[in-house]
Amino acid sequence: MAFDKMELRDIEVWDGNFAAAQALRQCQIDVVAAYPITPSTPIVEGYAKFLADGYVEGEFVMVESEHAAMSGCIGASAAGGRVATATSSQGYALMVETLYQASGMRLPIILNVVNRALASPLNVNGDHSDMYLGRDSGWIQLNAYCPQDAYDLNFIAFKVAENHEVRLPCMVHQDGFMTSHTAQGVKTLTDDAAYGFVGDFKAMNDMLDFEHPVTHGVQTEEDWHFEHKARQHSDLMTKVMPKIQDAFDAFEKLSGRKYNIVEKYDIDDADVCVVCMGTSVETAREVATEMRAKGIKAGVVGLRVIRPFPFFEIQEALKGVKAIATLDRSSPNGAPGMLFNEVAGCLFNLDKRPLLSGKIYGLGGRDLTKKHLVDLYTELQANVDAGKVTTQLQQFIGVRGPKLSFL
């Protein structure tokens, strides 16, 4: 069966969802098993339309739940296909059991996650609760800040995940609505250049290799389980980052667009810095530049790779900064916050430790305004001047009512 190529302009006006759908088309996904959910629906809808219109040679499997969607992806990937799907929030939560299956079975499935809050109360808008829910599931997690990133990182994801030294599933995260439904200029690759970058799918241990029959998804108990998990963790810790870097380098050569494991902005001489993810990175960069005009040496560190966690890259980026705030867009529900904890872990053994505080913001799609960030950088500078954290360690930003802070 043949398929048609699509003529794209050099720059198209796409939102994050359509950018991801176009990337799936250009990677020629064999199987998408999906149960659409807001705000990620247009990704799988887009693939289905490309398929129906003859632009993809593949299969769209409509299933009865997100659990079944990922299960279908697992089956198709074990059979030896290039496989992807998309989800958000409650659907992601329902997928969690199968996320662990996919990574333990070492199946290079790509999951586009359009980040959205988790009920209750029910909410369709963007925060990072779903993204945080899957952070121990053994997947690689890449983080987009805008539609361009959502497009580009899909190619990176396939390139890394399908590498036979890696063979781990990969999520591409984008912020619900702020990225997924905000149309921006997206620089495109031609169909040939995009497919050439990811290459033909190279099967490994596939069930359709009848000369080498294989059983996938076996059971192990105390005799073998630990070794399998250790192997998976070891590969995440040692093999994935170099392959991501290789993919970033190759992608820069192809497109001119440079991605980094940790995205540093004005960090080399910074006194104060925020560490954040998603669309907030772009807002923080804009405010950091404005703070410099006011004499505060502000910088931004954005995570491009969430898992595996870039421990040494973060440590290196932050070691000269005097006061740092982490921005967690998910309720830690009884803890300091994921970014706070991870960054604290990176910094703890340094001889000279920066001052660290954590912020909780943006839950359920609440805006992070420039004023919030101006106040935050000002507060961080006050910490530098005082030589200590002048506030409680954990503060909520943008919540109505009396000031909320802990620790």
Contact set with other proteins (CB under 8 A): 104-107, 167, 205, 210-218, 220, 226-228, 230-232, 234-235
CB closer to other proteins, 72 vs 104: 104
Phi, psi (rounded to 5 degrees) for 210 = -70, -15
Cβ 142 to other proteins, closest distance in Å?
Answer: 21
Q: Is the peptide bond before 336 cis (omega within 30 degrees of 0)?
A: no
How far apart CA 84 and CA 76 sit, in angstroms, is 10
Cβ 103 to other proteins, closest distance in Å?
Answer: 10
Cβ 219 to other proteins, closest distance in Å?
Answer: 8
CB closer to other proteins, 229 vs 294: 229
CB closer to other proteins, 165 vs 367: 165
Largest CA distance in the chain: 70
Cβ 230 to other proteins, closest distance in Å?
Answer: 4
Question: What residue type is 181 in one-letter code?
Answer: H
Cα end-to-end span (Å), the chain: 62
Cβ 145 to other proteins, closest distance in Å?
Answer: 32
Give strand pairing partners of 405: 395
CB closer to other proteins, 226 vs 348: 226
Two structure tokens written together for 250: 């190759």
Cβ 150 to other proteins, closest distance in Å?
Answer: 29
Cβ 140 to other proteins, closest distance in Å?
Answer: 15
CB closer to other proteins, 25 vs 106: 106
Identify the residue whose tokens are 């004023």.
371
Q: Which long-range contacts (CB under 8 A, 24 or more apart) does 383-390 make?
A: 383/272, 383/322, 383/323, 383/355, 383/357, 384/271, 384/272, 384/322, 384/323, 384/355, 388/355, 389/323, 389/355, 389/356, 389/357
Phi, psi (rounded to 5 degrees) for 315 = -60, -45
**For residues 168 and 140, is the Cβ–Cβ distance under 8 A?**
yes
Cβ 217 to other proteins, closest distance in Å?
Answer: 6
CB closer to other proteins, 1 vs 218: 218
CB closer to other proteins, 220 vs 369: 220
Give the DSSP H or E segment for 34: strand 31-34
CB closer to other proteins, 214 vs 404: 214
CB closer to other proteins, 21 vs 78: 78
Question: What residue type is 42 in one-letter code?
Answer: P
CB closer to other proteins, 213 vs 402: 213
Q: Which long-range contacts (CB under 8 A, 24 or more apart) does 240-246 make?
A: 240/140, 240/160, 240/166, 240/168, 240/308, 241/305, 241/308, 241/310, 243/159, 243/160, 243/163, 243/165, 243/166, 244/140, 244/156, 244/160, 244/305
**For residues 91 and 113, is the Cβ–Cβ distance under 8 A?**
no
Radius of gyration of the CA atoms of the chain, in A: 21
Cβ 96 to other proteins, closest distance in Å?
Answer: 17
**For residues 329 and 277, is the Cβ–Cβ distance under 8 A?**
yes
Cβ 386 to other proteins, closest distance in Å?
Answer: 48
Two structure tokens written together for 68: 């079944």
Cβ 235 to other proteins, closest distance in Å?
Answer: 7
**For residues 325 and 358, is the Cβ–Cβ distance under 8 A?**
yes
CB closer to other proteins, 67 vs 216: 216
